[in-house]
């Protein structure tokens, strides 16, 4: 089993054991307990505990700093709006694919919708747009296509 999977299981166990669906961790302490570097904890949090998977992450810095992970139960429209609102002004093709994969894994999109959106956002399609505008257009299209799936 990969270290990322072990970290994920540990965090999920902490969430399952809490009464309010929240877990607070200290990144360095968890990394030391897991025998990994702190950046591995960041990777797991940013890739597996995402809004589209039903999690909210809050980071508190300072001497007693910690990271709070909250399991959020959202209906499809709320989850999609949260994702749309989290998309910035620009997005590269790899990041768009990750967002779509996460939506697919969270059952927010059908396979066919994810495939269609991915095709529309591909570098092949964006090649007809000036390089400086591709990522802006990609982000705008992704937002609109996700919004179109809210009631679909």
pLDDT value, residue 145 = 96
Which pair of tokens denotes residue 93?
């093709």
For the chain, the first-to-last Cα distance in angstroms comes to 37
Which pair of tokens denotes residue 41?
């904890």
Confidence of residue 76 (pLDDT cuts 50, 70, 90): confident
Closest alpha carbon to 31 in 70, 2, 4: 4
- pLDDT of 20 over the 90 cut: no
Q: Which of 26-30, 111-115, 136-140 has the lowest mean pLDDT?
A: 26-30
∠ CA 64-67-69, nearest 5°, is: 145
Report strand pairing: 55-60 vs 66-71.
antiparallel
Contact 99, 83 (CB under 8 A): yes
Cα 135 from chain centroid (whole Å):
18
- pLDDT of 65 over the 80 cut: no
| pTM score, whole prediction | 0.62
Closest alpha carbon to 50 in 16, 87, 17: 87
Q: Which of 32-41, 72-81, 92-101 has the lowest mean pLDDT?
A: 72-81
- pLDDT of 152 over the 90 cut: no
∠ CA 41-45-48, nearest 5°, is: 125
């Amino acid at each position: 089993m990969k270290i990322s999977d072990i970290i994920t299981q540990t965090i999920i166990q902490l969430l399952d054991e809490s009464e309010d669906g929240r877990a607070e961790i200290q990144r360095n302490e968890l990394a030391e307990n897991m025998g990994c570097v702190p950046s591995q904890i960041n990777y797991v949090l940013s890739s597996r505990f995402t809004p589209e998977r039903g999690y909210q992450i809050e980071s508190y810095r300072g001497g007693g700093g910690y990271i709070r992970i909250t399991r959020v139960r959202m209906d499809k429209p709320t989850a999609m709006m949260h994702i749309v609102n989290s998309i910035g002004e620009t997005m590269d093709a790899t990041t768009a694919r990750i967002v779509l994969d996460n939506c697919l894994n969270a059952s927010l999109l059908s396979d066919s919708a994810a495939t269609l959106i991915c095709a529309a956002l591909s570098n092949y399609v964006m090649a007809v747009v000036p390089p400086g505008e591709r990522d802006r257009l990609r982000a705008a299209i992704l937002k609109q296509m996700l919004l179109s799936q809210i009631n679909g």
